[in-house]
């Protein structure tokens, strides 16, 4: 069986496992106070070109979103996201569980538009009853989006400008950040993201780590006593070294970017093959997730030999499917998949 | 100045004040255990044709929505509402504050459609990732809606059928219930609402009381230890008599319905006058709220002598305004308003 | 039957009912923006000698505690209370429902001691693991306490000094504030409470109102967008006039203090009578609640003709009972009770 | 420097790291649906002698406590713990963050007593105002306790009997479960714990894993849609294999018990040495944490060469310190510590 259903099918990059073994018997203080976390934080700040950033390590994406949003918002505020945003759809209500509403703007292939965001915020403040409504207190977007699409530098800067006009922070969910930055279509760098956004996270779970996300507060804006609130959310890892070692490894010798580039290369190869065969695409994704429209019959056939993800059903005969590559995808597997798809 | 901006401008029906005075020095136990609450509960159950109902008194609408929804939902569930539902827009995030998401379906002049609800629920259960999503655990609708519109008996029954198919309760927000039931377009009675819905509330604040809403659980489905959770929400009134006396009075000699019918009569008179003058309506409301499209110039002129509510801005030149009548609206005031609107 | 079980047995002072009737048909804006609330706020600020105070009206005590504590605390903080504090025992977990812990210090007849508070706060800050603990973020005390006892001016000032040393606000629950201030033992005035405390509330429900508590923020320290959070808690009354009219009446011509003094006079008469008859007191309460130790036999006899409150059981043969007087207690009822207690 | 400050200083048992490497490139489904989790669950059920148990893997102790307690309690309930219980002291209010109160009973060297628990529960139910209080809905205890002490089989069974009498579940926090079971003083086995308790967790983080706790529901009592609530708490690991592989390894060939026994052996050696030298113990701990009373001067001297944990300050001259051994403690380090302590 070939497997393309997501980007977290394998364990971790072997350099990470190697480091875990090498450092295993060193005694390290808990809760992120170890030297590996310290080193990883320094390397991430360096990679972000943001020496004053605060960096924290958490274990997963939903956890990170709930904690960043839940601790940055005031009690009367909600977070604005595209209708399709992960926080609005696929986190089992983790944001609402923190007591905050997810306010939505339209989604355009996963992305929000600066002018629609502006209109939404204007609408709120011009409404004479807005004291009876949830204050928009933060903007959340994902890069790449849940549909694999990317904001251009201008699009992101425009959204940030709207945010700053309304004095609310911009938060970028980078669960697949490496796959965005290494896309051939990307015109954004990590330092540019750090400059534009108020807070973001660098996804590890989907980009070569066993687990782990690195939250970066870029504007001296870490919520006070953040670690106590991390603990309160049940998210403080006793052996913080597990996260420190992984991110220290990923940010040594550009490993994070190298493995991300590999996933993109595999996705491009797949995309070209699918195009060549004339498969219709649901949308044009420049990153590691490719969305293709198959017939039910094609799906049935393919499922015998490949696992992949089923998305929106378009009609009785057609459904969108997703193929995801990752840091660990083997070229021969892409070729085997393409061979199966050769009509 | 004339005032038509809402339906809670005056105090209470004078019979209520009279009863407060008459009963003032009787000593009554607290927390809803008094004889007035007891009597009011009996009369409401009678009026609902539902002898087994459980009736509780709370002070306001947002409070009632938060408590009913927050106590009936399981932790993994959210409530489904029309996009324009009060709980989704104008309650400052009170539902999310209880930890639950408001899931939305499209709004059609304030109403949801049974088939769109069905499609939404089907979509949830057919989604293979639904365990990562908020479970739709209840349906909320308002009668009349925030736009003054009404569900027909068939529309409500169809929605209830969908709910029951998915084993989730149907909750009707009756903040203006009297104005709905007394509408000339209504084909629903209070006993029918009690039969169709799993829980609903009879609004007092907007229909002649100083404050107060009566929650009716119709299917032996009151959440266990409901009163403790009312207390936990800070919603238990020490002098429950204040609510009991008001509802006992409103449900004596059909007062609730008589005063509601008066508001409808006033609204009809206003509507006819506006039609006669050729004012365009935003939508056709059969209840006590009338939505008219005025030019900015008309609005400016009118505001010198009348207070009314500004709603959606349609374009630079036109805006929707709302005139509301109530149990206390005087016929001469409606006539004075119409005189001002006479072009 | 005589009734002494609590201080909210009757409706409201007749002047309040009179005002409700007089003002009933005036049209007033909602949500506390009416002229009655405005006037009541001005009179309360005057009575507090605190022209810069912010005053808000809520409906009940538990609601007020949950909102004040829930909006003033940071997410990583809890509130410190005496073990017997109302927020720790009798509010069904309303504080925890806002996500915050109640931290406790020992209770001495309902009161906390400044030195024990200091020790508790020192202990927290000296604990090297305090980042894993709930930060004490506020101090809550009641005046009078749940046991009818009073803090002296020095005791309150000492507690305030400890609070300020640790930069946390002092919050005084004045559910029975009038009965405290009018006690013959009180050496505190309302302006002094306003000066010493950062926030407190003036109880209406137990002191002559149908419902209502007036929250006073004395140090320009109202939480931002407080009203939105009041709405979020389901505590915003549409007809705010109901609260405004009541407090405006209570703070006209010293009515709040006059009716409070009456309750104290009745309590003193009762206390003297009980002492004369040799009944043992559980503690020496200088306010409207009197705690007496009766035998089970005495309790059984008395319950045939009087309703009163059962408190702690001391042993198989003895239990503490509470008799409460109020603004509405009639002298002849006290005399009748004493006659029954005459052995 | 020697290090004895806690039991999570090193990484993981080398067999775990070995397994991570061996399985690294196998493609596995996410969220705990992989074969390693499946295998680990089977082995744990076997070890518990409880074939019908439900087993779930989470990453840390506070997270586990918040999720188990937060999902098993009804909204009107709180959890009962000893005053010194981890959930009451050292989890930054994680339980209250779920909206639930921690109710306390006295602590006796970290343990609660069945009769005091019974008295507390009787007191609640006999209190006529208990509907205004938090319902005790669950009992939490830790084994070993935070002070290293152990419940005997009879003590645990007596507590369970009280729980069952009141129809509330008993939850055992086994963060250091292995160190409890392997203690020479223990008279409880894992199957007995599974039989007596309604839910418990087997701690991995402190007993040889990089991270991970295994929750065991023993009575077909897993809360409905538990995984959705795990996700809602931000606690669902995408690569569940990380937890599955670790627990599968720990429960292969009794590894969990073997490594636990080693920690106990080291603790016993340390304890004997300290006794021989005449150091006073704060209490008699039969597990891997040893609490000794040192003078400030001794502490100052020792800190130059050893890291250890500072606990309660007894007076100006004396403080309790904790030395912890673990699965990874080397005998030579214990000997070195004892040499330093040799007066």
* Tens digit of pLDDT at every position of chain B (343 positions): 999 999 999 999 999 999 999 999 999 999 999 999 999 999 999 999 999 999 999 999 999 999 999 999 999 999 999 999 999 999 999 999 999 999 999 999 999 999 999 999 999 999 999 999 999 999 999 999 999 999 999 999 999 999 999 999 999 999 999 999 999 999 999 999 999 999 999 999 999 999 999 999 999 999 999 999 999 999 999 999 999 999 999 999 999 999 999 999 999 999 999 999 999 999 999 999 999 999 999 999 999 999 999 999 999 999 999 999 999 999 999 999 999 998 7
> Domain B15-253 belongs to what architecture?
3-Layer(aba) Sandwich (3.40)
Q: How far is CA C12 from the centre of its chain?
A: 17
User: Encoding tokens for residue B135?
Assistant: 């479970």
* pLDDT tens figures, D74-108: 999 999 999 999 999 999 999 999 999 999 999 99
Say how far apart CA C191 and CA C197 lie, in whole Å.
10
Residue spans per domain, chain D: 2-7+256-342, 15-253
Map residue D187 onto helix, strand or coil.
coil
User: Encoding tokens for residue C143?
Assistant: 């005046």
User: Encoding tokens for residue B91?
Assistant: 């309650």
List the alpha helices (DSSP H) in chain D: 14-23, 35-47, 61-72, 86-89, 94-97, 114-126, 153-165, 177-181, 190-196, 226-232, 241-250, 255-276, 296-303, 331-341
Judged against a pLDDT cut of 80, whether residue C114 lies above it is answered with yes
Judged against a pLDDT cut of 90, whether residue C343 lies above it is answered with no
Would you state the pLDDT for residue C291? 98
Is the Cα dihedral C143, C148, C153, C154 positive or negative? negative
pLDDT band at C172 (very low <50, low <70, confident <90, very high): very high
Residues 6+ apart with CB under 8 A from D6: A30, D309, D324, D326
Is the Cα dihedral B67, B69, B71, B75 positive or negative? negative
Map residue A181 onto helix, strand or coil.
helix
For chain B, say whether C45 makes contact (Cβ under 8 Å). no
Say how far apart CA A97 and CA D94 lie, in whole Å.
13
Are C265 and C58 in contact, with CB atoms under 8 Å apart?
A: no
Say how far apart CA A69 and CA A84 lie, in whole Å.
17
Q: Please report the ipTM that was assigned to this predicted complex.
A: 0.97
pLDDT band at A57 (very low <50, low <70, confident <90, very high): very high
Would you state the pLDDT for residue B116? 98
C266 Cα to chain A: minimum distance (Å): 45
Q: What is the mean pLDDT of chain B?
A: 97
Would you state the pLDDT for residue C342? 86
Nearest to B18 by CA among B208, B297, B273, B157: B208
Contact check, Cβ <8 Å, D89/C310: no
The mean pLDDT value for C10-38 works out to 97
Contact check, Cβ <8 Å, C229/A76: yes
Q: Say yes or no: do domains D2-7+256-342 and D15-253 share a fold.
A: no
Say how far apart CA D83 and CA D90 lie, in whole Å.
11
Q: Please give the helix or strand (H or E) that residue C78 lies within, else none.
A: strand C77-82
Would strands C170-174 and C199-203 be described as parallel, antiparallel, or unpaired? Answer: parallel
Q: C306-328 burial, b if ≥16 CB within 10 A, otherwise e?
A: bebbbbeeeeeebbbbbbbbbbb
Instruction: Tally Cβ neighbours within 10 Å of residue B18.
Output: 14
Judged against a pLDDT cut of 90, whether residue D342 lies above it is answered with no
Q: How far is CA C321 from the centre of its chain?
A: 20
Say how far apart CA B334 and CA A335 lie, in whole Å.
77
Is the Cα dihedral C187, C191, C196, C198 positive or negative? positive
Are A107 and A140 in contact, with CB atoms under 8 Å apart?
A: no
The mean pLDDT value for D42-53 works out to 98
Taking CA–CA distances from A66, the nearest residue in chain D reads: D234
DSSP symbol at D326: -
Interface probe for C, chosen from B203, B238, B330 (most Cβ of C below 10 Å), is: B238
Residue D298 phi/psi, 5-degree rounding, is: -60, -40
- How far, CA to CA in Å, does D137 sit from each of B221, C80, D74, D168? 21, 24, 7, 6
Are D102 and D81 in contact, with CB atoms under 8 Å apart?
A: yes
Residues 50-109 of D with CB under 8 A from B: 70-71, 74-76, 99
Say how far apart CA B114 and CA B105 lie, in whole Å.
10
Are C208 and C12 in contact, with CB atoms under 8 Å apart?
A: yes
| Class of the domain covering D2-7+256-342 | alpha beta
- Which residue among C90, C102, C134 sits closest to D133, beta carbon to beta carbon? C90
Residues 6+ apart with CB under 8 A from B29: C5, C9
Contact check, Cβ <8 Å, B239/C211: yes
pLDDT band at D187 (very low <50, low <70, confident <90, very high): very high
Is the Cα dihedral C37, C40, C42, C48 positive or negative? negative
- How far, CA to CA in Å, does B243 sit from each of B201, B223, D138? 14, 21, 35
Q: How many residues does chain B have?
A: 343
Would you state the pLDDT for residue A342? 86
Map residue A307 onto helix, strand or coil.
strand
Size of interface B-D (CB pairs under 8 A): 41
Instruction: Give contacts of A132 with chain C, Cβ < 8 Å.
Output: 228, 231
* pLDDT tens figures, C311-324: 999 999 999 999 99
Q: How far is CA D215 from the centre of its chain?
A: 11
User: Encoding tokens for residue B318?
Assistant: 């036109």
Instruction: Tally Cβ neighbours within 10 Å of residue B181.
Output: 24
Q: D238-266 burial, b if ≥16 CB within 10 A, otherwise e?
A: bbbbbbbbbbbbbbeeebbbebbbbbbbb
For chain C, say whether D125 makes contact (Cβ under 8 Å). no
- Which residue among D132, D224, D228 sits closest to B231, beta carbon to beta carbon? D132
Say how far apart CA C66 and CA C87 lie, in whole Å.
8
Map residue C108 onto helix, strand or coil.
strand
Q: DSSP letters of B135-188?
A: EEEEEEEESS-TTS----HHHHHHHHHHHHHTT--EEEEETTHHHHHTSTT---
Q: Please give the helix or strand (H or E) that residue D206 lies within, else none.
A: none
- Helix then strand then coil, % of chain C, to nearest 5: 40, 20, 40
Say how far apart CA D131 and CA B83 lie, in whole Å.
37
For chain B, say whether C11 makes contact (Cβ under 8 Å). yes
Judged against a pLDDT cut of 80, whether residue D52 lies above it is answered with yes
Instruction: Give contacts of D230 with chain B, Cβ < 8 Å.
Output: none
The percent of residues above 90 in pLDDT, for chain A, comes to 99
Say how far apart CA D272 and CA D268 lie, in whole Å.
6
Judged against a pLDDT cut of 90, whether residue A178 lies above it is answered with yes
- Which residue among A90, A93, A131 sits closest to B101, beta carbon to beta carbon? A93
Nearest to C292 by CA among C306, C312, C307: C312
Say how far apart CA B45 and CA C112 lie, in whole Å.
48
Interhelix angle for C255-276 vs C241-250, to 10°?
70
Nearest to A183 by CA among A48, A274, A286, A272: A286
Write down which chains contact chain D via at least 3 CB pairs under 8 A: A, B, C
Say how far apart CA D229 and CA D160 lie, in whole Å.
26
For chain A, say whether C167 makes contact (Cβ under 8 Å). no
Would you state the pLDDT for residue C73? 98
User: Encoding tokens for residue D163?
Assistant: 């729980």
* pLDDT tens figures, D229-248: 999 999 999 999 999 999 99
C139 Cα to chain A: minimum distance (Å): 20
Contact check, Cβ <8 Å, B90/A310: no
Would you state the pLDDT for residue B342? 86
| Residue in the structure block whose two tokens are 């606690």 | D235
Q: Which residues are registered as beta bridge partners of A82?
A: A105
Say how far apart CA B265 and CA A27 lie, in whole Å.
81
User: Encoding tokens for residue C325?
Assistant: 């007087």
User: Encoding tokens for residue C106?
Assistant: 């020992």
Are D69 and D98 in contact, with CB atoms under 8 Å apart?
A: yes
Instruction: Tally Cβ neighbours within 10 Å of residue A253.
Output: 10
Say how far apart CA A314 and CA A322 lie, in whole Å.
14
Interface probe for B, chosen from C207, C234, C305, C324 (most Cβ of B below 10 Å), is: C234
Map residue B246 onto helix, strand or coil.
helix
Is this model's pTM higher than 0.95 or not? yes
Judged against a pLDDT cut of 80, whether residue D210 lies above it is answered with yes
For chain D, say whether A339 makes contact (Cβ under 8 Å). no
Say how far apart CA A334 and CA A337 lie, in whole Å.
5
Are B240 and B35 in contact, with CB atoms under 8 Å apart?
A: no
Rg over CA atoms, chain D: 20
The mean pLDDT value for C66-92 works out to 98
Nearest to A290 by CA among A276, A275, A301, A305: A275
Would you state the pLDDT for residue C331? 98
């Amino acid at each position: 069986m070939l497997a393309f259903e997501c980007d977290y099918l394998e364990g971790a990059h072997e350099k990470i496992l190697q480091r875990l073994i090498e450092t295993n018997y060193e005694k390290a203080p808990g809760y992120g106070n170890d030297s590996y976390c310290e080193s990883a934080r320094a390397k991430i700040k360096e990679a972000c070109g943001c020496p004053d950033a605060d960096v924290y390590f958490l274990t997963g994406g939903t956890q990170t979103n709930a904690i960043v949003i839940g601790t940055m918002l005031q009690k009367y505020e909600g977070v604005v996201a595209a209708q399709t945003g992960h926080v609005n759809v696929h986190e089992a209500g983790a944001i609402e569980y923190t007591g905050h509403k997810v306010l939505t703007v339209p989604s355009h292939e996963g992305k929000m538009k600066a002018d629609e965001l502006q209109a939404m915020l204007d609408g709120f403040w011009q409404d004479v009853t807005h004291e009876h409504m949830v204050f928009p207190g933060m903007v959340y977007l994902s890069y790449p989006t849940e549909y694999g699409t990317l904001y251009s530098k201008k699009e992101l800067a425009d959204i940030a400008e709207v945010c700053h006009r309304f004095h609310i922070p911009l938060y970028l969910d980078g669960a697949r950040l490496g796959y965005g930055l290494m896309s051939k279509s990307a015109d954004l760098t990590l330092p540019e993201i750090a400059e534009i956004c108020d807070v973001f996270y660098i996804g590890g779970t989907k980009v070569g780590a066993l687990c782990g996300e690195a939250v970066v507060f870029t504007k001296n804006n870490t919520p006070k006593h953040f670690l106590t609130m991390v603990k309160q959310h049940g998210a403080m890892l006793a052996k913080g070294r597990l996260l420190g070692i992984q991110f220290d490894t990923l940010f040594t010798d550009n490993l994070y970017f190298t493995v991300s580039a590999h996933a993109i290369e595999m996705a491009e190869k797949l995309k070209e093959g699918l195009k060549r065969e004339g498969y219709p695409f649901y949308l044009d994704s420049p990153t590691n997730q490719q969305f293709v429209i198959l017939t039910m019959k094609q799906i049935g056939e393919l499922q015998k030999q490949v696992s992949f993800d089923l998305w929106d059903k378009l009609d009785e005969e057609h459904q969108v499917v997703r193929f995801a590559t990752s840091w660990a995808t083997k070229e021969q597997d892409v070729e085997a998949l393409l061979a199966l798809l050769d009509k």
